[in-house]
Structure 1
Amino acid sequence: MKTDLPESQSDSDRIDDFNLDRSDSKVYTNRNSNNKNSATYLTLGLATLAAIIAGSYAFKNDSTGVAQQSRSLISTPTTSTPVGKLTNYTDTNFIAAVVQSVGPAVVRIDSTHTVTNTAPAIFQDPFFRQFFGSEIPTPPTKQIERGIGSGFIINPNGEILTNAHVVQGADTVTVTLKNGRSFKGSVMGADPVTDIAVVKIQANNLPTVALGDSNQLKPGDLAIAIGNPLGLDNTVTSGIISATGRGNIGAANERVNFIQTDAAINPGNSGGPLLNSQGQAIGINTAIIQDAQGIGFAIPMNQAKSIAQQLIAKGSVKHPYLGIQMVTLTPDIQQSLNNNPNSGITVDTNQGVLVAKVLPKSPADRAGLRTGDVIQKINGQLVSSASDLQQIVEENQVGSSLELELNRHGQPLNLFVKTAAMPILGQ
């Protein structure tokens, strides 16, 4: 099997609980940018597990301007013009009413990032210079990359919710309101694990977006997206909620079960709100699949709100982790492993999550987990996929003790793992 992972994901020391499940589609985060790394490509093959077991990568937190002291947490906004119960779908103007109410609280975010370019060594070779003389083009040593994204105001004092990849590593952040006013933005905190960030501007009495309950979403519910695709400010599209709880879509923020929608989402929409018929934000527009029509993804608001509250209060987020690399076990994978004398793994069940690697000195290592173990339950909760496991771990606090029910060489085994805070390289 060939596992074709992007360069940024092929490091050998990834620290979090790495879900090796992947789709064959290419997934993009929706930042309209000149940055060549602004798109995330993920592909997966299933022919051998040897390369998968060794494959891993590390997150890097490039957030800037992290707040050092506690600030007011997110409260239910009261300054937006109330939309009311806009559920009369026979009224063709109900979407317009939502947009009129919420639109002033949706912002455009422009960022710049300075990249240092190193001239190829051959340009400095004396023979090369003697041959070509002074006409050798000298590449610029520095290049400014510009990105465009979206965001929405969640507090009238200027706190704005967006995606981490929109502002991560930015040298400058500029926020432009719908009325044309521009402000310098500072990043209060950015969480690369969930791709959520909070930006602050110095302003008061701003319009806000009310935050809805994403747990109440059902396929078929109305969805309205507002953002700045391709730099076109305050563009509105509408559709429905196509599905909830989508994992393994190939995006970098793996600890998110996404909302899927057919409302058109394009580059530059990242960080903009996905709204319900009451004009409440029920998600943050985040990702699209290349060459797919009518498939976009948003981070559920309940998870985004929890992360944002921590970013506002502390400037960072601590995520619990076990320290394993894993893959959802299927009959095909079981057969492939058992029939491959070089796999080093024999599996006696085809249901659960296979531990492909245990990271040294991790909570899983200290608890005694081994490569080849199959995790079937955590705290009595059935684990049917690697995405399930990530979500269950994420829902617990750092330092929680989790009971893992395993299958090891056909024998049941219970182990207790005390989670630790996921280390993030660069912090």
Structure 2
Amino acid sequence: MSESQENSPIEDRSEVTAPHNKTSQSLRNNSLKALHQGSKYLSLLLLSTIASCSFGYLAAKEEPLQKSTLESPAVANPSIASSKSILASANTNFITQVVDKVGPAVVRINASTTVAVDSGTDETDNPYLRRFFGNRAPQQGSGATERQIRQGTGSGFIVSSNGSTGQIMTNAHVVSGATKVTVTLKDGRTIAGKVRGIDRVTDVAVVEIADKNLPTIQVGDSEKIKPGEWAIAIGNPLGLDNTVTAGIISGTGRTGSEIGAADKRVNYIQTDAAINPGNSGGPLLDASGRVIGMNTAILRGTQGLGFAIPINTAQRIANQLIANGKVDHPFLGVQMINLTPELKNQVNSDPNANLKLDTDKGTLIARVVRNSPAASAGIKTGDIITSVNGKAVQNSNQVQQAIETTKIGSSIPIRIRRNGQDVDLNVTPVAAPPIADSQESP
């Protein structure tokens, strides 16, 4: 999911409208209408070092508004007094409070990547470049292979500082393959960055900078968020630094396969906050300014469909990158398909399948990798996984998440259903083979 771009000015047409309570239904309707206009055009890709995404969240509860001096204790109707208070304090709404609090810890990340280019090839024939440049892809004349430096821009946020150095979380595709990384703070400081580690399986990376008096962001709990809560994003879309957008959490637990990124082991947060290339790696915030996600993807050809990595997942990966410089993910060596009544009937009616299924629910093993832990444990094509480590699983995503939390090298029990009978096996996961850059695109 890595993309690059030539140096060129880019425009962002995002518009943000912060919601406010109003004294009448008409004002409330106008406010909601303005809010919905804030998140528009988007495109799916785990946006690259140059084309990066960002969404933001605002949690369900707003901070209490300041008591208005217009309010009189003699007012008989409390709703009128409340409306006056809200109108009087509208210039200090919770979105601006979050921006003032968190903005200094959100950074711009510039990544330079040196690539080899065949000058005799028309780059418009390269689907990788065409995804970003479209009809504007640069034309190359004939000649020998040459090396070019491409500049990319993304976002990030400072999560920790020990006084002399700070750690920044961002997307792996923002800094993957970069030969030079610089970080620009809101106060104007530009600091050389060092990539501590990247994890392409979750698209998380950590960049370290050396400087004093670094602002940091407060980390929230992505397990507690619910659809319908407010969401705030701060980032650098299309070269416009410190852009703020607002929306809601549209959904949680979106799988990689649902958004076209089946190779990613993440249950994504969905949001309708406006995001654009350049926001990737930026924070997704709740109403109190706590980061609850890292913006990472948008759906091509749609509106209001953006996705973020839950902060609990991102922080777990980041801690391993800081400690070890890499992350090892458990690997079984199977390909899985979710069973449906249609799939069951298709398999049972195929005379060449040599398989009869007695259930239309669960996770069907479609392929077992040769010499893999699954093969060594005796798992076969056509088996149906019903539980992992003693916990029932209903679909392939649950199997994947259960395996992800297991320890490499430790035996785990897996129950399968084979030819109408339950079979208990023990599997010992190994470290997953690394994902090459060419495998990043969904």
User: How many Å separate the matches in 2 of 1:281 and 1:292?
Assistant: 25
Question: Which residue of structure 2 lines up, in the alignment, with residue 288 of structure 1?
Answer: 298
Q: 2:266 aligns with which of 256, 259, 273?
A: 256
Deviation at 1:255, TM superposition (A): 0.9
Deviation at 1:272, TM superposition (A): 0.1
* CA distance 1:321–1:146, shift in 2 (3 Å): same
Q: Does 1:397 align with 2:414?
A: no
Q: How does 1:179-190 map to 2 (within 5 A)?
A: 179-190=187-198
Question: Which residue of structure 2 lines up, in the alignment, with residue 97 of structure 1?
Answer: 97
Q: How many residues align?
A: 344
CA contact (8 A) 2:201 2:435 kept: no
Question: Which residue of structure 1 lines up, in the alignment, with residue 211 of structure 2?
Answer: 203
Letter in 1 for 2:287: S
Q: Does 1:111 align with 2:105?
A: no
Q: Does 1:28 align with 2:45?
A: yes
Deviation at 1:87, TM superposition (A): 2.5
Deviation at 1:231, TM superposition (A): 1.2
User: How many Å separate the matches in 2 of 1:284 and 1:316?
Assistant: 19
Q: 2:155 aligns with which of 150, 153, 172?
A: 150
CA contact (8 A) 1:29 1:286 kept: yes
Deviation at 1:401, TM superposition (A): 2.3
User: How many Å separate the matches in 1 of 2:424 and 2:193?
Assistant: 49
User: How many Å separate the matches in 1 of 2:394 and 2:262?
Assistant: 21
Letter in 2 for 1:144: I
Deviation at 1:287, TM superposition (A): 0.6
Secondary structure in 1 matching 2:219: coil
Q: How does 1:259-270 map to 2 (within 5 A)?
A: 259-270=269-280
* CA distance 1:359–1:226, shift in 2 (3 Å): same
User: How many Å separate the matches in 1 of 2:142 and 2:250?
Assistant: 52
Deviation at 1:174, TM superposition (A): 1.3
> C-alpha deviations, 1:95-115, integer Å up to 9, x for none?
001001101110111112111
* CA distance 1:88–1:30, shift in 2 (3 Å): farther
Secondary structure in 2 matching 1:201: strand
> C-alpha deviations, 1:296-329, integer Å up to 9, x for none?
1110111111111110111011111211111111
CA contact (8 A) 1:119 1:139 kept: yes
Q: 1:88 aligns with which of 60, 64, 69?
A: 64
* CA distance 1:343–1:203, shift in 2 (3 Å): farther
Q: How does 1:222-301 map to 2 (within 5 A)?
A: 222-247=230-255, 248=257, 249-251=259-261, 254-301=264-311
CA contact (8 A) 1:274 1:285 kept: yes
* CA distance 1:342–1:307, shift in 2 (3 Å): same
User: How many Å separate the matches in 2 of 1:335 and 1:264?
Assistant: 43
Q: How does 1:104-183 map to 2 (within 5 A)?
A: 104-118=104-118, 120=120, 137-138=142-143, 141-156=146-161, 157-183=165-191
Divergent runs of 4+, >6 A: none
TM-score by length of 1: 0.75
User: How many Å separate the matches in 1 of 2:336 and 2:394?
Assistant: 12
> C-alpha deviations, 1:144-177, integer Å up to 9, x for none?
2221110001112221000001001111111111
User: How many Å separate the matches in 2 of 1:390 and 1:95?
Assistant: 37
RMSD of aligned residue pairs (Cα, Å): 2.6
CA contact (8 A) 1:193 1:255 kept: yes
Letter in 2 for 1:88: P
Q: Structure 2: 5+ residue runs without aligned partners?
A: 2-41, 54-60, 66-85, 122-140, 438-442
Deviation at 1:348, TM superposition (A): 2.8
Letter in 2 for 1:94: F
User: How many Å separate the matches in 2 of 1:191 and 1:234?
Assistant: 26
CA contact (8 A) 1:27 1:251 kept: no
Letter in 1 for 2:95: I
Q: Does 1:368 align with 2:378?
A: yes
Secondary structure in 2 matching 1:292: strand
Deviation at 1:120, TM superposition (A): 5.0
Letter in 2 for 1:111: A
* CA distance 1:265–1:359, shift in 2 (3 Å): same
> C-alpha deviations, 1:219-263, integer Å up to 9, x for none?
111110111111111111111111111112212552110111111
Secondary structure in 2 matching 1:215: helix
Deviation at 1:345, TM superposition (A): 4.5
